[in-house]
Amino acid sequence: MNISPFFILYFCNMNKKVNFQDLGNRDYKECWDYQEKLFDEILSLKIKNRRQNLELPTPNYLLFVEHPHVYTLGKSGDISNLLLNEEQLKAKKATYYKINRGGDITYHGPGQVVGYPILDLDNFFTDIHKYLRTLEEVIILTLKEYGLDAERSKGETGVWLDVGTPFARKICAMGVRASRWVTMHGFAFNVNADLGYFDNIIPCGIKDKSVTSLNVELGMPKVDEADVKTKLKKHFQNCFEAELIS
């Protein structure tokens, strides 16, 4: 069978398409279950391809979401980094989950843009280190558009300001899970976050650095989150050489 160059080009480009969904404000567990569903569907298709010697294209997804107040602990995290008991969590209208991503404890809540890329890295590059650094670059470039020089901190995944100084502070946390080069979980970018909720944890298990939010850094009561999302999407497309489709 002859396959036209056009079809081959279309097939390759199709795998770099990323289905984008903005889920709005969603319960953490509901969104986690949805991630798992998409993740499992991609894994199942990859296994089918391998077992049946097929080349069916695997889909990719990028989810944006905002969660009600919730603390999540990664699989290697230390529960002692959560400084609240069950009654105190209820008083703060917050929930807690032990989850299957890497990293320690973090907070999600209103005023955060949480991004969950569920990607088959076989469609991009099979390198988890590069994947995390690319996600960081998306945030760094977005912050640059607001006049902030954000950085990486050696040995500490995420995006920071004033690294190497007594004022070092994290503005975006990251934690991922990957299996057979399929990813889930992702980043939590503080845009208009209530930083008081971070006082109830030792964020990411790091005791000597603080946390910040974009609105605080800009000296504004509130930053336009829709504008932030637009910038994030643009830089995601550029950094991953992908095409977001709704």
CA distance linking residue 54 with residue 46, whole number of Å: 9
- Here the tokens at position 126 are 């099979």
- Active-site residue 12, yes or no? no
Bridge partners, residue 188, by sequence: 114, 173
CB 108 within 8 A of CB 193: no
Q: How far apart are CA 137 and CA 149, in angstroms?
A: 12
Sign of the Cα torsion 20, 112, 230, 174 reads negative
Which candidate in 31, 172, 204, 239 is catalytic? 204
Separation between Cα atoms, residue 39 and residue 83, nearest integer Å: 32
Catalytic residues: 204
